């Protein structure tokens, strides 16, 4: 929600975001993550341009500061998995290694890993950028979820969201957990791990949409992108999020 009296700053910073396969990978309002990034940038006078990357599109990955990859049904994932690997693979993997700030939710998260073996036995190839793999189960893991995460050097934050997936994601040694599941299932419903982090790439199962509900993570991602583009002194202007944080707290109190 717009903070009252939000400063209308002159545009001084510009950032570019790539939105991966939004026509096939957009469930539970995942597009809201892009809107949240754009709005919290705009309130600070940061211009965030969004480029849609659909199947067949060429992308200059070195030009992007941020990327978003939403969730999808197994059928949607099957439609784009080869394009992701064969057309975007080399450029996107290199950008991830160089610190592209990327958020991937659920089906998008799965396809950044090594592979997704669906519950019908179809093996979808992943990008292999994250050291995780996913196996589909017969029972879907559905419900509200809370993940306690430490973002940078700050105090732990309780991220709230909604999950619905058949895939169980297991981590290798090349990723760090994003956080610890306090309520819900998380990556696999077994080990309490909620999401993965590698360099500036974040993957997790939290729909919601995630970023409108969790402004601390939104601002963390914008801050990372700003410092990567403009250097360590680029600072993120403080911005009110009273209502969002109140709603977040209510959900945490209800669920944990
Ligand atoms: N199709 C995947 C699964 O069921 C991802 C689902 C999603 O993105 N919500 O595990």
User: In the prediction, which pLDDT does 1 show?
Assistant: 57
In a domain, 250, yes or no: yes
Burial class (CB in 10 A: 0-12, 13-18, 19+), 60: exposed
1 in any annotated domain: no
The pTM for the full model equals 0.96
> For 17-39, how does the pLDDT look when each residue is reduced to its tens digit (9 = 90+)?
999 999 999 999 999 999 999 99
In a domain, 194, yes or no: yes
Pocket of ligand 1 (CB under 6 A): 27, 71-74, 77, 106-107, 164-167
Q: Alpha-carbon distance 163 to 165, whole Å?
A: 6
Hey, which of 165, 170, 208 would you mutate to test ligand 1's pocket, going by the most ligand atoms within 8 Å of its Cβ?
165
User: What's the 168 CA to ligand 1 centre distance in angstroms?
Assistant: 10
Active-site positions read 106, 207
Q: What is the CATH number of the domain that holds 206?
A: 3.40.50.880
Per-residue confidence at 12, pLDDT binned at 50, 70, 90?
confident
In this structure, which residue's CA is closest to atom 3 in ligand 1?
165
Please identify, by atom number, the ligand 1 atom nearest to the C-alpha of residue 70: 8
Among the atoms of ligand 1, which is closest to the Cα of residue 74? 1
Distances (CA, A) of 33 to 84, 86, 130: 20, 26, 21
Q: What percent of the chain has pLDDT over 90?
A: 94
* 15 φ, ψ (degrees, to nearest 5): -130, 155
**Residue 32 in domain:** yes
What total of structural domains would you count in the chain? 1
pLDDT at 217 over 70: yes
In this predicted model, what pLDDT tens digit does every residue of 84-127 receive, in sequence order? 999 999 999 999 999 999 999 999 999 999 999 999 999 999 99
CA-nearest residue, atom 5 of ligand 1: 107
Q: Is residue 87 assigned to a domain?
A: yes
Confirm whether 152 is domain-assigned.
Answer: yes
Residue 7 lies in a domain: no
The domain containing residue 140 runs over which residues? 13-255
């Amino acid at each position: 929600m717009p903070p009252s009296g939000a400063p209308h700053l002159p545009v001084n910073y510009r950032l570019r975001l790539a939105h991966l396969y939004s026509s096939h990978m957009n469930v539970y309002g995942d597009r809201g993550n892009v809107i949240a990034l754009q709005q919290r940038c705009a309130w600070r006078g940061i211009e965030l341009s969004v480029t849609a990357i659909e199947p067949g599109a060429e992308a200059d990955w070195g030009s992007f500061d941020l990327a978003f990859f939403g969730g999808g049904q197994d059928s949607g994932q099957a439609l784009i998995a080869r394009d992701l690997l064969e057309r975007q693979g080399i450029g996107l993997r290199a950008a991830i290694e160089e610190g592209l700030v990327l958020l991937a939710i659920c089906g998008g998260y799965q396809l950044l890993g090594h592979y997704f073996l669906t519950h019908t036995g179809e093996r979808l190839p992943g990008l292999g950028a994250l050291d995780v793999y996913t196996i589909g189960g017969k029972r879907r893991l559905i419900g509200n979820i809370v993940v306690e995460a430490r973002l940078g050097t700050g105090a732990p934050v309780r991220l709230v969201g909604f999950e619905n997936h058949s895939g169980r994601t297991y981590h290798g040694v090349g990723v760090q957990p994003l956080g610890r599941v306090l309520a819900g299932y998380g990556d696999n419903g077994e080990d309490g791990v909620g999401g993965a982090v590698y360099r500036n790439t974040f993957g997790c199962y939290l729909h919601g949409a995630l970023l409108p509900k969790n402004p601390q993570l939104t601002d963390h991602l914008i801050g990372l992108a700003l410092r990567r583009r403009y250097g360590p002194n680029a600072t993120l202007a403080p911005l009110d999020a009273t209502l969002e944080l109140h709603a977040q707290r209510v959900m945490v109190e209800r669920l944990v």
